[in-house]
Structure 1
């Protein structure tokens, strides 16, 4: 009987015997994997470095924030917290490293105004509100976009704009203060107003720098509740020194030191890290 020919099986993939080619293939595969993981994030920093006159304010910093996540950033003075926020918002350009928003938006290629329009809002430690205007007018200006102050205040708000302002007033605990001059608000209420002004611009990511500095205990507790409510609809990064307030937030904590991540996890985990105790909490 005539023997049937054997069908050839699937060809083995060709692998170059040269070790450099193998290394390059592995690097490409690793990059594809990293790019895929990055696209699932809202904020992605990898290997970010920034030096000022030879001093590394940020040193190979890597940090990932998921969509809808609130994160607390702690660390001693000079740890790089402010520089990190400057880099995210485009105020400072890194020397090296990747900074991506929504997976594929390279923030290093955009300036501050463009980054703000992409949906990243920043609140500095000291509130910057229009003290000669009342609360309602401050919020109307924040909704105005490119309109001038005069035209914004004369602008007849739409039903949608009115509803948005009402919602922001409720969120920021300022409904009964809407016609009070910003200058007459307490320090804590001014902080809430500025947060409200940022919310009026619909940021997807809100960066908040030491929001409870100078607040009363009652205002601090209320601010924790306020930020937890905000985090239900957007992502929030909070830089803070008050550990009681951080505990009230109940979120993942990242401790920075000398420009890089020293420890990360729950507050209990980070607080128990001997390195964190030595450089920060033990002081």
Structure 2
């Protein structure tokens, strides 16, 4: 496997906790600008894989490269976040007592303090960027509302917007449509496809209808390694996937 042209390159990665192999000889390659859906039963290693990519967990063996030649195993979480890997956890974490717009301002601010970020004069570039993000995450009409007043789905979109404000090259999105209405789920698929025009994206998801809406290559994990990979139809028809995951 070649690392050139890849945004993420995992080869032979393993990690064990108390003798249990959470990730077992995992190899996965994500091309620049690609969106990939990761599926698999609980305990398949999906979260641990994301922990490894973001530096939260260090693998016992194997290679993990970002953006061609950056060895992620030699960097900590803070370093990796500034390199351009953004992660959205399953439960949305937004500043509920601030407006939607202020949430984005705080995310844009990076190292600045909350007070200086909220009260400093905004550059025209920052204002344009905030407008663009609001449009992307379908929240332009809610910009002056408190984040607390958003629906669950809109909070998820706001958090994705806060990630975009940090200008990541790669977004890791964990079960974005859990708890969403059908309409929000369909809109989230469109939203992520919009983002994938300019970013590389990994989406971990259980909702197969949503994965089909994304229309991207699917990787099914089981017991810490790749069980099957390809289109959703290809993976869904794989008897091993049916046995360990879809047949349940």
Partner of 1:253: 218
Would you say 1:50 and 2:15 are equivalent positions? yes
The residue number in structure 1 matching 2:230 is 265
Corresponding position of 1:164: 129
Three-state SS of the structure 2 residue aligned to 1:42 is strand
Deviation per CA, 1:104-124: give whole Å up to 9, x if none. Answer: 100000011100110000000
TM norm structure 2: 0.99
The runs of 5 or more residues in structure 1 that have no matched partner are: 1-33
Q: CA deviation at 1:145?
A: 1.1
- Is 1:183 equivalent to 2:183 in the alignment? no
Structure with greater proportional strand content? 2
> How big is each residue's C-alpha offset from its partner over 1:55-111, in whole Å with a ceiling of 9 and x where there is no partner?
000000000000000000000000000000000000000000000001110000001
- Offset from partner CA, 1:123-164 (integer Å, 9 cap, x none): 000001000101000000001011111111011110000000
Aligned residue number for residue 124 of structure 1: 89
Report matched runs for 1:191-230 at 5 Å. 191-230=156-195
Runs of 5+ unmatched residues, structure 2: none
Q: What's the CA shift for 1:40?
A: 2.3
Task: Find the aligned partners of 2:204 and 2:171 in 1 and give their Cα distance.
Answer: 11
RMSD between superposed Cα atoms in Å: 0.5
Other-structure match for 1:155: 120
Runs of 4+ in 1 over 2 A off after TM superposition: none
Secondary structure (helix, strand or coil) at the match of 1:93 reads coil
Query: How many pairs does the alignment contain?
Result: 248
1:4 corresponds to = none
TM-score by length of structure 1 reads 0.87
Alpha-carbon distance in structure 2 between the residues aligned to 1:109 and 1:44: 15
Equivalent in the alignment of 1:114: 79
Q: 1:77 aligns with which of 18, 39, 42?
A: 42
Q: How far, CA to CA, are the matches of 1:152 and 1:88 in structure 2?
A: 29
- Note the alpha carbon deviations across 1:174-213, whole angstroms, 9 max, x for none: 0000011111100000000000000000000000000000
